[in-house]
Structure 1
Amino acid sequence: MYGLNGGGYYHVSEKVMANTISKILIWMVAGLLITFGVAFSIMTNPVMAMTVSRSYLLLIIAQFGVVIAMSGMVKKISVQTAKILFVVYSALTGATLSLLMMFFTTASIIYALIITVVIFSVMAIYGYTTKEDLSKFGNLLRVGIIALIILSLVNMFLRTAAIYWIVSYLGVLIFIGFIGYDMNMIKNNIIIMANGDEELIERFSVFGALMLYLDFINLFIYILRIVGLRNDD
């Protein structure tokens, strides 16, 4: 595998690529285990659930704060700090996600999780193995995110079933696209950094994990909205 470096090309060994991708996936899976571990713990503990419910806004603000801090210091933050922030973010997401999951049956949550794992795996493999440069789809996906946010905000006031389902299906399509896109970008970035700073590559492993983690969580949420059976049904 080769990447362009200044006036020439440099070799990127399959071992370097495989090791970096492995680190990214390990961190992503670790983050997901923390998230769902925290979520199910809160769901089964009424006292914790009540505490999280009362602190929901603060938890959301904390989530945004951690992501902004990580994104804004991508080149300055130490590897250890990046890892700590990722773990904290995963736990915070588990707390906020638990409130959504409480509305659905455990069986439908597991069903949605299985579907998410299958779709994520297929799209991640596609994004990694394809010879096509998927960066051209970046603007389209970002426009989709903006449309998704606007529709979600509108439906906070209108509360119509039609917009709810449009947002749910649109969200699934957008994050399916983002999984392939992000994995493709991760692979390309590894090539760019391959003969560069080892610490930068290590740090990127955490940020790459965060990208895929966010894709997984968002895809899961929208799939759950579609296939989830509510506890009061």
Structure 2
Amino acid sequence: MADFNTLRASQAGARAAQIDEGLRAHMNKVYGLMSVGMIVTGLVAWLVGTNEMLLAQIFGTPLKWVVMFAPLIVVFAFGAMIHKMSVATAQAVFFGYAALMGLSISFIFAVYTGVSITQTFLVTAIAFAGLSLYGYTTKRDLSGFGTFLVMGLIGLIVASIVNIFLASSALQFAISVIGVLIFAGLTAFDTQNIKNTYLQLAQSDDEFLGKAAIMGALQLYLDFLNLFMFLLQFLGNRE
């Protein structure tokens, strides 16, 4: 009996170690994909944003509405159709989406100084790292905040669209404050959710886990990018 218990304990320990190793690999893939996505976004934004002719052709014409709303449409379509894609196709779509996002935010290089953009990016990176680490390591269940954060996000999107036409500085300030709080919370929540999803589905096939990693990378990418954009409105020095 003792030998059996010892064997069972050792098997349980080996399985736990295997899951821990798999979780680390999964999270490394999530952060790796997210990082590459951010690099793609940054390069496209810089290349377009520092070209006055391109900026005028995009943001000085009705094309700006396509550039502004296309990422929102694409991300919803991507989330709905990813289960029909291969991992390679889903990854390519993610990077394509990152390039499209770079195009849509390229105007920041014409509005804010390069130094303030860099400083805000570093502040965002530090804040994101701390919030994501908290979400990964905390024993507290953050799922209760999920519904609240999603409802707040929907309200934020609606308010942002409305303010495109109202152009109210007071409303924009309120949107920025709420946006920072919502995406700070979503960073911790999404990180914990990505971790828990892997733990629940660790025995799934590689293709399923590969798509889960891409979706996790997309969630954290959006958290980082939106946190950066809202912080830029506070910390950015205008040209």
After TM superposition, the score normalised by the length of structure 1 is: 0.89
- Work out the CA distance in 1 between the residues paired with 2:188 and 2:88: 28
SS of the equivalent of 2:84 reads coil
Cα 1:68–1:153 change in 2 (3 A) is: closer
Give the alignment partner of residue 121 of structure 2, picking from 113, 119, 122. 113
> Is the Cα contact below 8 Å between 1:144 and 1:174 reproduced in 2?
yes
- Work out the CA distance in 1 between the residues paired with 2:230 and 2:137: 26
1:4 alignment counterpart: none
- Work out the CA distance in 1 between the residues paired with 2:121 and 2:233: 12
The worse-fitting range, judged by mean Cα deviation, of 78-87 and 101-110 is 101-110
- Work out the CA distance in 1 between the residues paired with 2:165 and 2:19: 53
1:156 alignment counterpart: 164
Cα 1:85–1:47 change in 2 (3 A) is: same
RMSD across aligned positions (CA): 1.7
The worse-fitting range, judged by mean Cα deviation, of 23-32 and 195-204 is 195-204
Give the alignment partner of residue 33 of structure 1, picking from 39, 43, 54. 39
SS of the equivalent of 2:111 reads coil
1:59 alignment counterpart: 67
Q: How far did residue 66 of structure 1 move?
A: 2.6
Give the alignment partner of residue 220 of structure 2, picking from 202, 212, 222. 212
Q: How far did residue 154 of structure 1 move?
A: 4.1
- Work out the CA distance in 2 between the residues paired with 1:166 and 1:60: 21
Aligned length: 222
1:170 alignment counterpart: 178
Say which structure is richer in helix. Answer: 2
Q: Are residues 1:147 and 2:155 paired?
A: yes
Q: How far did residue 73 of structure 1 move?
A: 1.8
Q: How far did residue 157 of structure 1 move?
A: 4.3
- Work out the CA distance in 2 between the residues paired with 1:57 and 1:157: 12
Q: How far did residue 100 of structure 1 move?
A: 3.3
Q: How far did residue 153 of structure 1 move?
A: 3.8
Q: How far did residue 108 of structure 1 move?
A: 0.9
Structure exhibiting the larger radius of gyration computed from Cα positions: 2
Cα 1:48–1:160 change in 2 (3 A) is: closer
2:28 alignment counterpart: 22
Which amino acid is 1:16 matched to? Answer: G
> Is the Cα contact below 8 Å between 1:120 and 1:216 reproduced in 2?
yes
> Is the Cα contact below 8 Å between 2:19 and 2:199 reproduced in 1?
no
SS of the equivalent of 1:13 reads helix
Give the alignment partner of residue 81 of structure 2, picking from 73, 97, 117. 73
After TM superposition, the score normalised by the length of structure 2 is: 0.87
- Work out the CA distance in 2 between the residues paired with 1:43 and 1:173: 28
Cα deviation 1:123-179 (Å, max 9, x = unaligned): 000000111221110111012113323433443344333222111111000000000
- Work out the CA distance in 1 between the residues paired with 2:162 and 2:216: 32
Which amino acid is 1:25 matched to? Answer: Y
Instruction: For structure 2, list consecutive stretches of 5 or more residues without a partner in the other structure.
Output: 1-14
> Is the Cα contact below 8 Å between 1:39 and 1:97 reproduced in 2?
yes
